[in-house]
Structure formats: C-alpha cells, structure tokens
Structure 1
Amino acid sequence: MKRGLFVLILFVVSVTKVFSQIEYNRFSVEGLGGITMAFTDASNNNISYMFGGAFHYNTSPFSFFSLDIQSGQLKGGLEGNKRQFANSYSSYSATYNLGLGDLLNISANTLHRKTNDLYFGAGVTLIKNNVKEVVPFEYSTSDGTFTEGVNFKGTEFVFPLQVGLNVKYRTKTEKTPFAVNLHYQFNLSFSDSLDGYEGSPGNKKNDLYSTIWLGVKYFFGPTSIYYRTPR
C-alpha cells in the first residue's frame, strides 16, 4: 500500500515537472476602432476611419475564432482629382487566428509572453458597399470618349489576411481579465467596384483595402486548462 502511494506521488510530481498549466477563458469580446486605407483607382488621400466589435471563441490561450462587425469609410482622391469617391461600408467577418504560443514552445517569462501572443489568421468577409460622392471621370480612346464613375450600393465577399498582438493584463494569480489588441488586416477583393470606377482602359487590377485597429478585449465564461512542456 505504501509502495503504491509512493509511486502515485512520484508520478504526480514527475507530470507536474514535465507540464506547466495555463488557465484561460473560452470567450472574449472586443471593442475596436482604427483607420482604413483604400488601394483603388482613385489614389491619394486614401486614409479614413472604422470602428466595430468582435466576439471570440478561444481554442487556447493564444489562438481563437473571431466573428466581427465593422462600420467605416473607404475613400480616395482629392478635390480636383480625376477620380474621387467615398464608400460608407459595413462588413461581417469570420476568421481563425493562430497564436505563436501554439507553434513555439517558448518560456512563459514576462519578456517572451509577448511572442506567444502574436497571431496571424485568415477568413472571409461580407462587405456591404455604399459608394457615393463619385466624381465622373471622362477619358478618350481610339473607340471614342467614355465616362466612368457611378454611385451604387452592392454586396460582395472579400478575403482578409491579418496579423496582430494581444498585450494581456495578468493579475497576481495569473488570471487574464482583459487585453489590448493591436491588429492589421489586409483585405483581398475580387472586383473593381469598391470605389465606383472600372479603372483605366484595360485595367485588370482589383480594388483592395486594409485596416489597422486598436481594441480592448474582455475575457469571460468557462475556463479551460492548457498544458505545455516548459522550457
């Protein structure tokens, strides 16, 4: 009996030495705000604003699924330019974000935690365009004179690629009630309609845009234990 108890204690001690434990919440919500940058046929002065919110399902302390809603503006062109527009959009995204902490077995000291909480991800976005303030642009070719540029409303899918960093606040008991999130997202469009212009004759480049935001995350809900081999 004593020998069995000794073996059990030895096993528990050895497992404790082999694995460290990180407790984390399964859910988090985020409020966010930042800027947009449009890369379209209407160049110059292409920085505007966005804000929104997100809900996350955390698959580990470092990785998460995200559903977010954004509202903002894409714009380009200057007064007197050949092309000028403003697109008051709203978007709905679903993404998966993989944290480096799930890929790298990095020491959990304070300095290296920042590396653990770097993440990158991809997904799909439904964007609702409301393109207005479009200045008609006239151009001539061998086939005649044409005018492009139209105000319109429409919906399309874009594909976000993103990278970010969660700067987590930890209590003395290693709880993480909230985090500050710095996030960059590059959005691939498969159309040329984000700005209301088709572009120059023979243009085959699609419109693109990116967003940079600062957010605050609040963690809540049931907790899980994440096991990892310490270094």
Structure 2
Amino acid sequence: MIPNLLKTISVSLFFVLITGSIFAQSNYFKLSYGFGVGANRSYTDVVKGGTGYTAYGVFDVHVTPFVTAGLEAQYGMVQGGDIVTDPHNRQFINKYTAVSANVKFMLGEVLRYERSDFLYNIRGLYVGIGVGVINNKMDDIVRYKPSWAAYDPGFGPFPGKDKSLNLVTPVNLGFNYFINDGYGYMRYIINFNVQSNITYGEGLDGYDDPSRNFENYSPDIYNTYTIGFRYMFGNIKVYRKTL
C-alpha cells in the first residue's frame, strides 16, 4: 500500500511541476519595427551648443522579449554656436544622417516581475549601446569672421570640412511600455529614449581647429530625446516567463 501511495504522490508532483512549467511560459513575436521623433542637443567645439531635431526608424530582432539587437537610421539637424554671441563668431548647422547597429537589455530579463506590480511596470526599462556611422553635411557654417567682429574681423577660414563621415557610438537609456493585442500577445510598444551619440572625428560641427588656438580635447557629442512607436510581428517564440 505504501509503494502505491508513494507512486501516487510522485505522479502528482510531476504533474504539478509540468503544469506549472507550462503556465509559466508565454509566446512573443521575434521581430519589430518602428519610428520616432524628438529634439537633440549638441556638445561640440563651439562654446555653446544648440537644439535641433531628430527623426529615426528602427528594426529589431527580439532575442528574448527583453533583449534586442537591431539597426537604427536617423535623420536630423544638429546646430550650435551663434555668429553674434559666440566669442569666435562661429556657428554651424549640420543636416546629418546616421546608421547604427545596437543591442538593448531590459530589466525584465533579470527581474522576477511577477512578484509585484511595481516590478512588472518597470520591466521595460533598458540600457543599450551600439556602433555606427554618421554622415555630416553642413547646411550653414561660418568659415570667416564677419567684418563687424569685435576681435580680429575677417579672420579665416576656420579649418574643417563641410561634408564628412565619422564613426559614432550611441549609448541608450530608455523605457518600453508594452501594449497587448486582442489575443493577449505583446504587440505594440510606446518607447521613450535618451541617446548620447559620441562621435569620433571633427565632422559634427565642421570645425577642425588646432588645439593650440582653440580648446579641442573632447569628442563631439549630440544627445537625442525622443518618443517612438514599435510594432511587433513575425514568427512566435516561447519565453520562459509569463508576459
């Protein structure tokens, strides 16, 4: 009788474990694409940065629901300086395009978010990093000081290129808010993102002045502050946790 009882308990435990494992899994779509817009801020060799705009498109592969690898393309305008107020009368407007590959890692991958509503709600918080190329094109730039400049009027030209290619490293901090479709699948994402783009070279502001004349020790950077939308699609994959 005891062996039969032990057998019954063992089968029951096995059934519970299997059932629990099944209910702890969820399905998700492996791909997504999206777009977004926002403002940017430049930090370059001119004394004061400026505010511009950025629009982007993305395509991601979801390694898991909370780990992605993908491509991002940007178009926008970065500007800085002011011909009147800048100490050297420098000013630039860069109509740029950029393409980068990146990875993002969300908190949901490591959090046991089923334990609280707060953890569940922040599971889409992420960090990311990538590498890419930025194509700089000066739409407007001051190469010669104006004749009315307070110091050294008519000086120039300021060295640099109106068109250039530079490597760029985008560093991301953001949040994905997931919305389910009518079948209960994660299908739509509203995205909020802050991205710091570190460029290598002197193309972002178009100025490449000798460091003996101008402070020129830090890489040129522009930060973007965007809101976007994503749509998940493609083949369905099983995930180990409930979504």
Q: What's the TM-score, normalizing by structure 1?
A: 0.85
Structure that is richer in strand per residue: 1
- Structure 2 unaligned regions, length at least 5: 146-150
Q: 1:48 maps to which residue?
A: 52
Q: Partner amino acid for 2:29?
A: N
Counterpart mapping for 1:89-128 below 5 A: 89-107=96-114, 110-128=117-135
CA distance in 1, matches of 2:8, 2:28: 32
Runs of 4+ with deviation above 6 angstroms: 2-6
| Counterpart pick for 1:68 among 66, 72, 75 | 72
CA distance in 2, matches of 1:5, 1:29: 50
- Whether 2:216 is the aligned partner of 1:203: answer yes
CA distance in 1, matches of 2:35, 2:217: 37
How many angstroms does 1:191 deviate by? 1.7
Counterpart mapping for 1:56-205 below 5 A: 56-80=60-84, 81=86, 82-107=89-114, 110-136=117-143, 147-150=157-160, 152-171=162-181, 173-199=183-209, 200-201=213-214, 203-205=216-218
3-state SS of paired residue (2:202): coil
65-74 or 38-47, which deviates more: 38-47
35-44 or 11-20, which deviates more: 11-20
Mark the structure with the bigger radius of gyration: 2
Count of residue pairs brought into register by the alignment: 225
How many angstroms does 1:228 deviate by? 3.6
CA distance in 2, matches of 1:153, 1:229: 50
How many angstroms does 1:23 deviate by? 1.9
How many angstroms does 1:8 deviate by? 5.1
CA distance in 2, matches of 1:12, 1:65: 37
3-state SS of paired residue (1:14): helix
Change (3 A) 1:25 1:108: farther
Over aligned residues, Cα RMSD in angstroms? 2.8
CA distance in 2, matches of 1:6, 1:175: 36
CA distance in 1, matches of 2:116, 2:30: 23
- Structure 1 unaligned regions, length at least 5: none
Answer yes or no: is the 8 Å Cα contact 1:75–1:85 preserved in 2.
Answer: yes
CA distance in 1, matches of 2:49, 2:165: 24
CA distance in 2, matches of 1:171, 1:12: 31
Answer yes or no: is the 8 Å Cα contact 1:134–1:150 preserved in 2.
Answer: no
Counterpart mapping for 1:202-221 below 5 A: 203-221=216-234
Deviation by residue 1:75-109 (Cα, 9 ceiling, x = unmatched) = 01234131100110101110010111112222265
CA distance in 2, matches of 1:43, 1:201: 10
3-state SS of paired residue (1:211): strand
28-37 or 173-182, which deviates more: 173-182
